[in-house]
Structure 1
Amino acid sequence: MTTPVEVLDIPTRPSAWARFKDTHLFHSFTRDKVAMVSFGLFVLYALAALFAPLIAPYNPYDPASIDIMNSELPPIWQEGADPAFLLGTDAQGRDMLSTMLYGTRISLMIGICAVMLQMFLGVLIGLSAGYFGGRVDSFLMRMADIQLSFSTMMVAIVVLAVFQAAFGAELYADLAIFMLILVIGIAEWPQYARTVRASVLAEKHKEYVDAARVMGFGSGRIMWRHILPNTLSPLLVISTVQVANAIISEASLSFLGLGMPVSQPSLGSLISSGFEYIFSGAWWITVLPGIVLVVLVLVMNLLGDWLRDVLNPKLYKG
């Protein structure tokens, strides 16, 4: 006579979302209204930038959809407005809503890509300096000191102005987005390098690193697989603030005529293109992109402040 097979009640592992909901990060986020509003606005910006070709009423890059006769039309709430252009038009007759959506897309792309380049260079140099120490550390940190002695704007203005003068405005217009990412990214890597180096100096003498050495792991695996994951918290905070700084740098360079061309507007180039019309009554060409830029930078800085407080137990007050 066979006995019934007992079924073992094996607990199922909770999902990644369930584990995340139990973390201190999620708990503090749901209790901080400023962080929730800031994150919601950032998601709104990101979605608007990502789906700009679908949301925008017109394509500001298509000359066929632009009529110079529609130039400097006011927003819909002012007298003389055209219902087809909710936020008015710029001096070239482009719909302001469409140009701001595309401009936000370019500004965010430059900011995020420049920060990714900063992080890659900073992490690589900071890990090497902190782990190997000695002459390697001294050489790399002196490079960082030299880089920090020059402001980002000064380096960017010199490099972009020389490139534009040497290769012409037409080639520069084609490569402007890549040049901005490259210049802003290279100019700001010491922020990451110094932070990563300090974290590596604190981590490399701990037991888990000694255990990895005893097991015969190479320096590259120890640095990237064991030490680096324990330095990610400060990098996340820096990245949030640095995206805002990169967007401001791009907007400043575009305002000076060294950023994105007028044919491919970013928020900075939109502000620059309308600055000469602000006193003639067409204030919306500069003011509206300016408001969008200010809110975007404010949201990024507020998220960075919140992350700094949450990920640092000494600062977080609950």
Structure 2
Amino acid sequence: MTDSSQTSATAAAPPLPGRWERFRDSYLLYSFKRDIIAQLSLLVFIALVAIAVLAPWLSPMNPYDLAQIDILASELPPFWVDGSDPAYLLGTDAQGRDMLSTILYGARVSLIIGFGAVALQAIIGVSFGLMAGYLGGRVDAFLMRLADIQLSFSTLMVAIIVGALVKAIFGGATFSTYAVPLLVVIIGLAEWPQYARTVRASVLAERSKEYVDAARVMGLRSKRIMFRHVLPNTLSPIFVISTVQIANAIISEAALSFLGLGMPETHPSLGSLIKAGFDYIQSGSWWITLIPGAVLVILVLSINLLGDWLRDVMNPRLYKG
């Protein structure tokens, strides 16, 4: 073949599709465009995250500023109930704080704990799962037995035990001051086995493939093969687990707050707001608990629906090309 023919053949070859073209033609986007539930769930989730991030600018008042709290305006009902105050759209709680402001700030705290705990779970679980699946042998046996021991207890039980120990060691005042990072660590340590077992199963399927053998023949270190070659091929189940685990972490934080091992009332989350208003339901101040509870249900439901959609889309058996 002459140089001119080679040049013409090269010029005639179509360019490789870019990232945007591959995403535009992907089954992920194809499925999302045809799933109204996934679209609504993502829209609701993005809206809740946005208002939580923008809470300092959207809130009528700062619930952490004692100077803005009027105790004489406590337990005012929402705007659609008789006896309400137009200045407080969703009413006030027992301390006189604006419910709309506390919900916005509380949603931000719940999301921070949820995302932070899942990040910690992923770091620990993915690392352990990679080592167990790739190295095998005693490492695999030790790490999986450790995961089995923790999975033999319920996640909430582990979080309660760890949270009670931390509160007993450091004291209630210290726990309240550093409640957010402590809850991230407590919930993160309680739920890492889900990542470890899932990643291990994926790694066991990947390590016998030809690209792993080729990397070994090239003399690459095990650490590089695990994190640079094997890990990218196990991301699909990690994404699916992460969506579900964010919802679980938020629910775990709410449960711990309801048991007195979560966020303090002075720095509320959605869980602590529900717990703070639980004692006032029978007195008629139902909105203190029910409105934050409704926000929590909507937030968790939207995340779970997104997780169900991702699980179906990323399941290779359901892929239709």
Q: TM-score band (shorter)?
A: over 0.9
Aligned position for 1:274: 277
State the 1:18 CA deviation: 3.7
Aligned position for 1:86: 89
State the 1:14 CA deviation: 5.7
Structure 2 counterparts to residues 243-282 of structure 1, below 5 A: 243-282=246-285
State the 1:15 CA deviation: 5.4
Structure 2 counterparts to residues 220-231 of structure 1, below 5 A: 220-231=223-234
Output the aligned Cα RMSD: 1.6
- Normalising by structure 1, we get a TM-score of 0.94
Correspondence 1:59 to 2:62? yes
Structure 2 counterparts to residues 103-114 of structure 1, below 5 A: 103-114=106-117
- Give, in whole Å, the separation in 2 of the partners of 1:248 and 1:41: 18
Aligned position for 1:304: 307
State the 1:167 CA deviation: 2.6
Aligned position for 1:36: 39
Correspondence 1:148 to 2:158? no
State the 1:16 CA deviation: 3.5
Deviation by residue 1:151-178 (Cα, 9 ceiling, x = unmatched) = 1211221222222233322111011111
**Paired residues, number:** 311
Correspondence 1:136 to 2:155? no
SS at match of 1:28: helix
Aligned position for 1:235: 238
- Aligned residues of 2:56 and 2:62 also touching (Cα < 8 A): yes
- Give, in whole Å, the separation in 1 of the partners of 2:287 and 2:17: 51
Among the aligned pairs, what percent are the same residue? Answer: 66
Correspondence 1:191 to 2:185? no
State the 1:11 CA deviation: 7.2
State the 1:215 CA deviation: 1.1
Return the match for 1:100 from 100, 103, 112.
Answer: 103
Return the match for 1:124 from 112, 127, 144.
Answer: 127
- Aligned residues of 2:27 and 2:319 also touching (Cα < 8 A): no
SS at match of 2:260: coil
Structure 2 counterparts to residues 202-217 of structure 1, below 5 A: 202-217=205-220
Deviation by residue 1:286-306 (Cα, 9 ceiling, x = unmatched) = 000000001111111100100
- Give, in whole Å, the separation in 2 of the partners of 1:277 and 1:36: 37
- Normalising by structure 2, we get a TM-score of 0.93
SS at match of 2:282: helix
State the 1:12 CA deviation: 7.0
Deviation by residue 1:191-222 (Cα, 9 ceiling, x = unmatched) = 01011111111110110011111111110110
- Give, in whole Å, the separation in 2 of the partners of 1:258 and 1:121: 23
Write the letter of the residue equivalent to 1:92: Q
Moved more, 28-37 or 173-182: 173-182
- Give, in whole Å, the separation in 1 of the partners of 2:170 and 2:211: 53
Correspondence 1:77 to 2:49? no
Deviation by residue 1:244-289 (Cα, 9 ceiling, x = unmatched) = 0000000000011110000000000000000000111110000000
Write the letter of the residue equivalent to 1:293: L
Correspondence 1:48 to 2:82? no
Aligned position for 2:293: 290
Q: Which runs of 5+ in 2 are unaligned?
A: 1-10
- Give, in whole Å, the separation in 2 of the partners of 1:292 and 1:219: 46
- Give, in whole Å, the separation in 2 of the partners of 1:81 and 1:12: 65
- Give, in whole Å, the separation in 1 of the partners of 2:209 and 2:227: 15
